Amino acid sequence: MLIAGMALAIVFSTFASLPANVGAAPFTATANLNIRSGPDTSFPVVGGIPSGGAVEVTGDVQGNYYPVAYDGISGFASADFLTAGNGGDEEETAAGPTGTRYVRDGRLNLRTGPSTSNGVIAVMPDGAEVQLGGNIANGFSEVTWNGTIGWAATAFLSTDGGFDEPTPEPATPVTPPSDVPSIGDTPIGTAVVTSGGSSLNMRSGPATNFGVIRSLPRGA
């Protein structure tokens, strides 16, 4: 009886020390979450919050635990699984595309809702394949990855395997100098020098500024 009395005294003294509900803020649980009698896992569980449940945070964080009130129960819950807001979308959900998409430009958070204030369920690797659920909101798309449904930033989802190939720029044609003639498909065979003079210069390149190797006589 003495031990039981001491335990009850600890619990009631803990509740008495909770801050008043002044400036209480709405939060949402991102997982099934225990409510404990104090801000530590050594304290007993006095209640629970289901994933997605709306909770009132009644004071400042203490040792990574928030003082909370949920369904008539006051206590402490892990700050790691509480996100600010009541879980509502920042913008109305609208119909979006379906099909396969891929994570691009690095790892991407899979969240419980269409906002950065929603909790992270998982982190998807670059190139991960996801299936669109047909809903969009606030720049996020509803997706399914490895059997888990959540929301991901639409800007980082691609249709082409996760890696955008740059569009090649058209090649700029090179215009040869005016004194160098173009070299096309020239027939191979025998030709006869028909120069009006007595000979024809054979040069080291296809222009008059190239050196003369030798002179070819007319009729050669």
The residues spanned by each domain of the chain are 7-84, 94-158
CATH code of the domain occupying 7-84: 2.30.30.40
Q: Identify the band that residue 34 occupies on the pLDDT scale cut at 50, 70 and 90.
A: very high
Q: Of how many residues is the chain composed?
A: 220
The mean pLDDT of 155-172, rounded to a whole number, is 62
- Please check the confidence at residue 130 and state whether its pLDDT lies above 90: yes
- Please check the confidence at residue 37 and state whether its pLDDT lies above 50: yes
Residue 219: per-residue pLDDT: 82
Give tens-digit pLDDT for 57-71: 898 888 888 899 998
Whether this prediction's pTM lies above 0.85 is answered by no
Say if CB 102 and CB 159 are below 8 A apart. yes
Count Cβ atoms within 10 A of the Cβ of residue 68 and give its class: 0-12 exposed, 13-18 middle, 19 or more buried.
buried
Say if CB 71 and CB 47 are below 8 A apart. yes
Fold of domain 94-158: SH3 type barrels. (2.30.30)
Q: In which element (H, E) is residue 63 found?
A: none
Residue 108: per-residue pLDDT: 92
Rounded to the nearest 5 percent, the helix, strand and coil shares of the chain are 10, 40, 50
- Please check the confidence at residue 38 and state whether its pLDDT lies above 80: yes
- The least confident of 27-31, 66-70, 172-176, 203-207 is 172-176
Q: Which residue has the higher pLDDT, 105 or 169?
A: 105
Distance of CA 202 to the CA centre of its chain: 65
| Structural Rg of the chain based on CA atoms | 38
Q: Tokens 């509803």 — which residue?
A: 142
Same fold, 7-84 and 94-158: yes
Alpha-carbon gap, residue 184 to 176, rounded angstroms: 13
Ranges assigned E (strand) in 104-211:
108-111, 120-124, 129-137, 140-145, 148-153, 157-158, 199-203
The mean pLDDT of 42-67, rounded to a whole number, is 89
- Please check the confidence at residue 172 and state whether its pLDDT lies above 50: yes
Alpha-carbon gap, residue 56 to 33, rounded angstroms: 14
Residue 20: per-residue pLDDT: 37
Residue 19 main-chain phi, psi, to 5 deg: -65, 155
